[in-house]
Structure 1
Amino acid sequence: MEITKLDVFLYCSHCQDETLHSVQYLNHKISSTECTNCHRKLDMHLNPKRELYKEIYKRIVTKPTRLTQEYRDDLNKFLGEFPKRALSKPYRLKRYMNETRTALKKFKDGN
Protein backbone atom coordinates (compact mmCIF):
# COMPACT_ATOMS: atom_id res chain seq x y z
CA MET A 1 0.00 0.00 0.00
CA GLU A 2 1.36 3.36 -0.90
CA ILE A 3 0.41 6.97 -0.38
CA THR A 4 1.62 9.44 -2.99
CA LYS A 5 1.15 13.19 -3.33
CA LEU A 6 1.20 15.28 -6.48
CA ASP A 7 0.86 18.99 -7.01
CA VAL A 8 -1.33 19.92 -9.98
CA PHE A 9 -3.17 22.97 -11.24
CA LEU A 10 -6.93 22.55 -10.95
CA TYR A 11 -9.88 24.90 -10.99
CA CYS A 12 -10.93 25.84 -7.44
CA SER A 13 -14.62 26.67 -7.08
CA HIS A 14 -13.91 28.63 -3.90
CA CYS A 15 -11.08 30.77 -5.35
CA GLN A 16 -12.80 30.99 -8.75
CA ASP A 17 -9.46 30.44 -10.46
CA GLU A 18 -7.06 27.74 -11.55
CA THR A 19 -4.76 27.21 -8.56
CA LEU A 20 -2.19 24.74 -7.34
CA HIS A 21 -3.75 21.76 -5.56
CA SER A 22 -2.16 18.98 -3.56
CA VAL A 23 -3.69 15.66 -4.62
CA GLN A 24 -3.16 12.61 -2.43
CA TYR A 25 -3.49 9.07 -3.78
CA LEU A 26 -3.97 5.82 -1.89
CA ASN A 27 -2.96 2.92 -4.14
CA HIS A 28 -3.45 4.99 -7.30
CA LYS A 29 -6.91 6.21 -6.23
CA ILE A 30 -7.53 9.83 -5.29
CA SER A 31 -8.10 10.05 -1.55
CA SER A 32 -8.11 13.85 -1.15
CA THR A 33 -7.45 17.17 -2.86
CA GLU A 34 -6.53 20.44 -1.18
CA CYS A 35 -6.23 23.91 -2.66
CA THR A 36 -2.89 25.40 -1.65
CA ASN A 37 -4.34 28.90 -1.91
CA CYS A 38 -7.51 28.75 0.22
CA HIS A 39 -6.79 25.35 1.87
CA ARG A 40 -10.22 23.99 1.00
CA LYS A 41 -10.02 20.21 1.22
CA LEU A 42 -12.13 17.52 -0.41
CA ASP A 43 -11.86 13.97 1.00
CA MET A 44 -12.96 10.93 -1.00
CA HIS A 45 -13.50 8.75 2.10
CA LEU A 46 -11.59 5.68 0.95
CA ASN A 47 -11.43 2.76 3.34
CA PRO A 48 -7.69 1.95 3.67
CA LYS A 49 -8.32 -1.54 5.03
CA ARG A 50 -10.56 -2.37 2.08
CA GLU A 51 -7.92 -1.03 -0.33
CA LEU A 52 -5.29 -3.18 1.40
CA TYR A 53 -7.54 -6.24 1.14
CA LYS A 54 -8.10 -5.65 -2.59
CA GLU A 55 -4.37 -5.17 -3.20
CA ILE A 56 -3.39 -8.37 -1.40
CA TYR A 57 -6.20 -10.35 -3.04
CA LYS A 58 -5.11 -9.20 -6.50
CA ARG A 59 -1.48 -10.10 -5.79
CA ILE A 60 -2.42 -13.59 -4.60
CA VAL A 61 -4.80 -14.30 -7.48
CA THR A 62 -2.37 -13.11 -10.19
CA LYS A 63 0.78 -14.76 -8.74
CA PRO A 64 0.47 -18.06 -10.69
CA THR A 65 -0.01 -16.16 -13.96
CA ARG A 66 2.95 -13.87 -13.26
CA LEU A 67 5.22 -16.81 -12.39
CA THR A 68 4.14 -18.70 -15.52
CA GLN A 69 4.85 -15.64 -17.67
CA GLU A 70 8.32 -15.21 -16.15
CA TYR A 71 8.99 -18.92 -16.70
CA ARG A 72 7.94 -18.73 -20.34
CA ASP A 73 9.85 -15.51 -21.05
CA ASP A 74 13.26 -16.77 -19.94
CA LEU A 75 13.60 -20.16 -18.23
CA ASN A 76 17.34 -19.81 -17.48
CA LYS A 77 16.88 -16.41 -15.84
CA PHE A 78 13.86 -17.68 -13.89
CA LEU A 79 15.72 -20.73 -12.55
CA GLY A 80 18.85 -18.69 -11.82
CA GLU A 81 17.02 -16.03 -9.82
CA PHE A 82 14.54 -18.31 -8.05
CA PRO A 83 16.79 -19.33 -5.09
CA LYS A 84 17.79 -15.70 -4.46
CA ARG A 85 14.15 -14.56 -4.64
CA ALA A 86 13.02 -17.35 -2.29
CA LEU A 87 15.68 -16.43 0.27
CA SER A 88 14.96 -12.70 0.09
CA LYS A 89 11.17 -13.09 0.29
CA PRO A 90 10.96 -12.81 4.12
CA TYR A 91 12.91 -9.53 3.99
CA ARG A 92 10.79 -8.17 1.13
CA LEU A 93 7.62 -9.16 2.99
CA LYS A 94 8.83 -7.44 6.17
CA ARG A 95 9.66 -4.25 4.20
CA TYR A 96 6.20 -4.35 2.57
CA MET A 97 4.52 -4.78 5.97
CA ASN A 98 6.46 -1.82 7.41
CA GLU A 99 5.58 0.38 4.43
CA THR A 100 1.92 -0.63 4.71
CA ARG A 101 1.85 0.01 8.46
CA THR A 102 3.38 3.46 7.89
CA ALA A 103 0.87 4.26 5.14
CA LEU A 104 -2.08 3.16 7.28
CA LYS A 105 -0.80 5.23 10.20
CA LYS A 106 -0.43 8.33 7.99
CA PHE A 107 -3.88 7.83 6.56
CA LYS A 108 -5.41 7.35 10.01
CA ASP A 109 -3.64 10.40 11.45
CA GLY A 110 -5.31 12.66 8.92
CA ASN A 111 -3.06 12.29 5.89
Structure 2
Amino acid sequence: MEFQELQTELYCIKCEENEMHVLTYLNQRLYKARCEGCGHELFISPDPRKVLYDEFLQRIVTKPERISRELKENPRRIVTLPYRVISKPYRMYKEMQGLRQFIAQGKSRNGSKIS
Protein backbone atom coordinates (compact mmCIF):
# COMPACT_ATOMS: atom_id res chain seq x y z
CA MET A 1 0.00 0.00 0.00
CA GLU A 2 1.56 3.24 -1.12
CA PHE A 3 0.48 6.71 -0.03
CA GLN A 4 1.56 9.82 -1.85
CA GLU A 5 0.64 13.41 -1.00
CA LEU A 6 0.77 16.42 -3.27
CA GLN A 7 -0.07 20.06 -2.61
CA THR A 8 -1.95 22.19 -5.08
CA GLU A 9 -4.22 25.20 -5.12
CA LEU A 10 -7.88 24.36 -5.69
CA TYR A 11 -11.24 26.01 -5.15
CA CYS A 12 -12.70 24.96 -1.80
CA ILE A 13 -16.49 24.62 -1.77
CA LYS A 14 -16.59 25.23 1.99
CA CYS A 15 -14.30 28.30 2.10
CA GLU A 16 -15.56 29.49 -1.29
CA GLU A 17 -12.01 30.59 -2.13
CA ASN A 18 -8.92 29.23 -3.83
CA GLU A 19 -6.91 27.54 -1.09
CA MET A 20 -3.98 25.15 -0.86
CA HIS A 21 -5.15 21.53 -0.75
CA VAL A 22 -3.33 18.33 0.09
CA LEU A 23 -4.25 15.57 -2.37
CA THR A 24 -3.70 12.06 -1.04
CA TYR A 25 -3.18 9.23 -3.49
CA LEU A 26 -3.53 5.60 -2.46
CA ASN A 27 -1.80 3.18 -4.83
CA GLN A 28 -1.72 5.86 -7.55
CA ARG A 29 -5.46 6.58 -7.23
CA LEU A 30 -6.81 9.82 -5.84
CA TYR A 31 -8.23 9.05 -2.42
CA LYS A 32 -8.98 12.39 -0.74
CA ALA A 33 -8.49 16.14 -0.91
CA ARG A 34 -8.05 18.21 2.26
CA CYS A 35 -8.28 22.01 2.35
CA GLU A 36 -5.42 23.63 4.24
CA GLY A 37 -7.56 26.69 5.00
CA CYS A 38 -10.57 25.12 6.74
CA GLY A 39 -9.56 21.46 7.07
CA HIS A 40 -12.53 20.21 5.02
CA GLU A 41 -11.85 16.73 3.62
CA LEU A 42 -13.42 15.34 0.48
CA PHE A 43 -13.09 11.59 0.03
CA ILE A 44 -12.93 10.67 -3.66
CA SER A 45 -12.77 6.90 -3.69
CA PRO A 46 -16.19 5.41 -2.93
CA ASP A 47 -14.82 2.18 -1.49
CA PRO A 48 -11.04 2.14 -1.00
CA ARG A 49 -11.25 -1.20 0.82
CA LYS A 50 -12.65 -2.89 -2.30
CA VAL A 51 -10.01 -1.26 -4.51
CA LEU A 52 -7.17 -2.35 -2.20
CA TYR A 53 -8.44 -5.91 -1.83
CA ASP A 54 -8.99 -6.22 -5.60
CA GLU A 55 -5.42 -5.05 -6.27
CA PHE A 56 -4.08 -7.40 -3.60
CA LEU A 57 -6.01 -10.36 -5.01
CA GLN A 58 -4.87 -9.53 -8.56
CA ARG A 59 -1.24 -9.55 -7.42
CA ILE A 60 -1.70 -12.96 -5.74
CA VAL A 61 -3.36 -14.48 -8.82
CA THR A 62 -0.73 -13.19 -11.25
CA LYS A 63 2.31 -14.05 -9.09
CA PRO A 64 3.19 -17.37 -10.83
CA GLU A 65 3.08 -15.69 -14.24
CA ARG A 66 5.26 -12.80 -13.05
CA ILE A 67 7.83 -15.19 -11.53
CA SER A 68 7.98 -17.23 -14.76
CA ARG A 69 8.48 -14.10 -16.84
CA GLU A 70 11.15 -12.83 -14.44
CA LEU A 71 13.07 -16.12 -14.59
CA LYS A 72 12.91 -16.19 -18.41
CA GLU A 73 14.29 -12.64 -18.57
CA ASN A 74 17.05 -13.32 -16.05
CA PRO A 75 17.67 -16.99 -15.14
CA ARG A 76 20.19 -15.98 -12.45
CA ARG A 77 17.27 -14.73 -10.33
CA ILE A 78 16.53 -18.35 -9.42
CA VAL A 79 19.20 -17.97 -6.71
CA THR A 80 16.97 -15.55 -4.76
CA LEU A 81 13.80 -17.58 -5.32
CA PRO A 82 14.02 -19.79 -2.19
CA TYR A 83 14.40 -16.75 0.08
CA ARG A 84 11.52 -14.94 -1.63
CA VAL A 85 9.25 -18.00 -1.35
CA ILE A 86 10.01 -18.35 2.36
CA SER A 87 9.63 -14.64 3.15
CA LYS A 88 6.50 -14.04 1.04
CA PRO A 89 3.93 -15.11 3.68
CA TYR A 90 5.48 -12.70 6.18
CA ARG A 91 5.53 -9.86 3.65
CA MET A 92 1.86 -10.53 2.78
CA TYR A 93 0.98 -10.59 6.49
CA LYS A 94 2.65 -7.18 7.01
CA GLU A 95 0.81 -5.75 4.01
CA MET A 96 -2.54 -7.04 5.31
CA GLN A 97 -1.79 -5.43 8.69
CA GLY A 98 -1.26 -2.13 6.88
CA LEU A 99 -4.60 -2.54 5.08
CA ARG A 100 -6.39 -3.29 8.35
CA GLN A 101 -4.82 -0.25 10.05
CA PHE A 102 -5.83 1.95 7.13
CA ILE A 103 -9.43 0.72 7.28
CA ALA A 104 -9.58 1.06 11.09
CA GLN A 105 -8.20 4.59 10.81
CA GLY A 106 -10.97 5.48 8.35
CA LYS A 107 -13.68 4.10 10.64
CA SER A 108 -12.49 6.26 13.52
CA ARG A 109 -12.90 9.56 11.61
CA ASN A 110 -15.97 11.49 12.60
CA GLY A 111 -18.19 12.50 9.72
CA SER A 112 -16.24 10.54 7.13
CA LYS A 113 -16.34 6.78 7.17
CA ILE A 114 -14.59 4.25 4.97
CA SER A 115 -17.11 1.56 4.23
TM-score by length of 2: 0.76
Is 1:34–1:42's contact at 8 Å kept on the other side of the alignment? yes
Is 1:7–1:20's contact at 8 Å kept on the other side of the alignment? no
Aligned-residue sequence identity (percent) comes to 29
Equivalents in 1 of 2:6, 2:92: separation in Å? 31
Is 1:6–1:24's contact at 8 Å kept on the other side of the alignment? yes
Is 1:20–1:36's contact at 8 Å kept on the other side of the alignment? yes
The aligned counterpart of 1:88 is 87
Structure 1 letter corresponding to 2:38 = C
Structure 2 letter corresponding to 1:96 = E
| Structure 1 position 68, deviation (Å) | 1.7
Is 2:7–2:21's contact at 8 Å kept on the other side of the alignment? yes
Structure 1 letter corresponding to 2:101 = T
Higher relative contact order (CA 8 A, sep 6+): 1
- Say yes or no: does 1:68 pair with 2:59: no
Is 1:5–1:22's contact at 8 Å kept on the other side of the alignment? no
The aligned counterpart of 1:39 is 39
| Aligned-residue RMSD, C-alpha | 2.2
The aligned counterpart of 1:16 is 17
Gapped runs of 5+ residues in structure 1? none
Is 1:48–1:107's contact at 8 Å kept on the other side of the alignment? no
1:47-66: CA deviation from partner (whole Å, max 9, x where unpaired): 13311331123213322331
Equivalents in 2 of 1:81, 1:100: separation in Å? 27
The aligned counterpart of 1:58 is 58
The aligned counterpart of 2:26 is 26
Q: How many residues align?
A: 108
Gapped runs of 5+ residues in structure 2? none
Please identify runs of 4+ aligned residues in structure 1 that moved more than 3 A.
none
With over 3 angstroms needed to count, the CA separation of the structure-2 counterparts of 1:41 and 1:93, relative to structure 1, is closer
Structure 2 letter corresponding to 1:82 = L
